[in-house]
Amino acid sequence: MRLEQLRFFCAIVDNNFSVTRAADILHISQPAVSKQVAGLEQELGADLFIRASGRLVGLTAAGQATLARARQILIEVDELLHFGKGDTNAVSGRLVIATTHTHARYTLLDIIKDFRLLYPQVHVHLVQANPFQVHEAILAGTADIGISSERQDTKGLREFRGRDLGRSIIAPVGHPVFGRAPVTLKELSKHSLLTLDFSFPGGRAVGEAFENAGIEPNIVMTATDADVIKSYVRVGLGVAVLPTVTFDRTIDQSLQAADVTYLFGAAPTFVLVREDHVIRGYMSEFIRQIVPDNHFQ
Amino acid sequence: MRLEQLRFFCAIVDNNFSVTRAADILHISQPAVSKQVAGLEQELGADLFIRASGRLVGLTAAGQATLARARQILIEVDELLHFGKGDTNAVSGRLVIATTHTHARYTLLDIIKDFRLLYPQVHVHLVQANPFQVHEAILAGTADIGISSERQDTKGLREFRGRDLGRSIIAPVGHPVFGRAPVTLKELSKHSLLTLDFSFPGGRAVGEAFENAGIEPNIVMTATDADVIKSYVRVGLGVAVLPTVTFDRTIDQSLQAADVTYLFGAAPTFVLVREDHVIRGYMSEFIRQIVPDNHFQ
DNA sequence: GTTAGTTACGCCGACCGTAACTATA
DNA sequence: TATAGTTACGGTCGGCGTAACTAAC
């Protein structure tokens, strides 16, 4: 038996018995999950799921018993990996985070706020940089954790995948681009567009989506900073394509957003750590806030 | 992390911190164990073993903590695999065991005796056969568990490896072959030899050992039954080469034995079960008595 | 020289992803 | 026909074994 099989099994249960959704969360193909669970069932010699008309609809008695044991095992493995060491209880120290503007300004804001409450003795130092610099900082050891949406060569690094960032168009309230949803690439190309720099999450993908469709976009501005872009959107320069998280309903009351993930795809979030860097204590806790499943290793 | 790593780690501890012995018990190469444990240490970010002059001599604090957790996890995995199902508590039924004479008469004797005490409601049926027939019986489903020392094609079967059977020479007390130990193949070739049939454990290996050494043995008798051979040894027909377990000090008081595993190698014990046969309840318990490490899956 | 353990390297199997297939509504 | 899941198949990665190497006594 392998721990992965237990993780997959739990993931299916945690996702309303949808193999597809579980696979999605795990960033793995759906058949792989199916197969592993089938293998687990064979090894246990019992069906774990109640199957109705080709769908999974619930747990058998064996499945319920297995679920409880599986969760327990995964928790203990987790504890072994993260708290089984000497300085488990380290609550003071330093945590240098290298990340891009979008993550620093939006996705990490609440996470760091909560983290500081939990570990007031840990000095959190945030280094803002472009994805390449993030990568370099981790490799060089000048930062402990890198958070980026661009995938680079992972040699010498460990990489965990966090939540995907959807994308939205952002424009002044009432802007004609919101006329009739869902908007298409063709319609967008008629407007002046503002995007993140192509080395940033949401940058390159925008360009590529238009290119693949054979449509020439009218990009009037790129920047490395969503706030800068939003400022120009407010003064009517055009329509921004940004990660959805950069839109804050309370702050951006003069603006309006509409999800366009279906046009440009989602931007993944990668957490980078040096391969030889031991993840433990508060650092482990921090990563856990970003990586969706609790068992990030 | 993989469960195998935890098993390897525990195995080393259980074998007096000898990687070599652990590898031996696990029927795996020694570097494989070394490497997996090194991987575990890296992943945990702490040394588990105290190393002195290139040897493992004890557990670090981290090692002790990890050992406890690892054992706990392995126990729970074990429980999940063997007791997590509906008829966990099945204490009645049937258990058909197909095996060779040596195992039936010697290695399984105590095991079955104990088993019957534990599960008096289970009807144990022992089918004696040659290794090929054992294999066939499992594949055909006429037997639940096969125990043999000959490896066959494992297609459609699951195979667990039990203890190795050493070999001894057995001869009347005071026989000249016991003159000065350790005996050599060359000296043995001067005596009349009795061995098991070549399709039985201890049979083929004896012939091969002589052949590899380029020595012609004087084999005066082969049989499929160690008791038959011992009877002829008692009447002075010659020297028997048999699995060590076939020698019983109390029964064979007129005979003497000397270990010669170094000459002919050990005979492995294989437990065979049909691939689609669910191992649980008393059957699981039975196999557990034969397969040395408690986590046979 | 012998014994225990680590490093190097090629092989093989297992898992994963893509794609085709099945089944249900 | 669209959606969820399983089966089929080829590629790739990682663990295993053999062998060479290192270190201690």
User: Is pLDDT of B85 > 50?
Assistant: no
**A276 or B149: which carries more pLDDT confidence?**
B149
> What local confidence, expressed as pLDDT, does residue B202 receive?
60
Tell me the CA–C1' distance in angstroms for A16 and D19: 52
Residue spans of beta strands (DSSP E) within A164-217: 167-172, 192-196
What digits encode the pLDDT tens for the residues B19-36? 999 898 888 889 999 999
Determine which of A44, A78, A79, A274 to mutate to test the interface with B (most B C-beta atoms within 10 Å): A44
Chain A 41..80 CB hits on strand C (< 7 A): 53-54
| pLDDT band at B86; cut points 50, 70, 90 | very low
Q: Do A261 and A201 contact (CB within 8 A), yes or no?
A: no
**B200 or A285: which carries more pLDDT confidence?**
A285
What digits encode the pLDDT tens for the residues B111-148? 888 888 888 888 888 888 888 888 888 888 888 999 98
- Check CB contact under 8 Å for B1 and A44: no
Share above pLDDT 70 across residues of chain B, in percent, rounded to a whole number: 92
Looking at domain A1-71, does it have CATH number 1.10.10.10?
yes
| pLDDT band at B83; cut points 50, 70, 90 | low
Determine which of B42, B80, B279 to mutate to test the interface with A (most A C-beta atoms within 10 Å): B80
Q: A85-164+268-297 — its CATH code?
A: 3.40.190.10
Average pLDDT over residues B271-291: 81
Count other C-beta atoms under 10 Å from residue A264's C-beta: 24
Average pLDDT over residues A184-206: 83
List, by residue range, all CATH 1.10.10.10 domains of chain B.
1-71
> What local confidence, expressed as pLDDT, does residue A86 receive?
46
Determine which of A80, A83, A274 to mutate to test the interface with B (most B C-beta atoms within 10 Å): A80
> What local confidence, expressed as pLDDT, does residue A85 receive?
47
Tell me the CA–C1' distance in angstroms for B17 and D13: 31
CA of B20: nucleotide with nearest C1': C4
The alpha-carbon gap from B118 to the nearest alpha carbon of chain A, in Å, equals 23
Q: Considering only CA atoms, which residue is closest to the C1' of nucleotide D16?
A: B32
Strand D bases with any atom < 7 A from protein Cβ: 4-8, 15-20, 22-25
> Cα separation of A90 and A76, whole Å?
20
N-to-C CA span, chain B: 17
Q: A167-264 — its CATH code?
A: 3.40.190.10
Average pLDDT over residues B77-83: 78
List, by residue range, all CATH 3.40.190.10 domains of chain A.
85-164+268-297, 167-264
Q: Do B145 and B271 contact (CB within 8 A), yes or no?
A: yes
Average pLDDT over residues A128-133: 86
CA of A26: nucleotide with nearest C1': C16
User: Is pLDDT of B109 > 70?
Assistant: yes
Chain B 7..26 CB hits on strand C (< 7 A): 17-20
The alpha-carbon gap from A47 to the nearest alpha carbon of chain B, in Å, equals 10
Average pLDDT of the residues of chain A = 85
Which residue type sits at A80? L
What digits encode the pLDDT tens for the residues A212-238? 888 888 888 888 888 888 888 898 888
Strand C bases with any atom < 7 A from protein Cβ: 4-8, 15-20, 22-25
Tell me the CA–C1' distance in angstroms for B56 and C6: 13
Orientation of helix B61-83 relative to helix A30-44, angle to 10° = 80
What digits encode the pLDDT tens for the residues B180-197? 768 888 889 999 898 988
> Cα separation of A171 and A239, whole Å?
5
**A34 or B199: which carries more pLDDT confidence?**
A34
Q: Do B41 and B51 contact (CB within 8 A), yes or no?
A: no
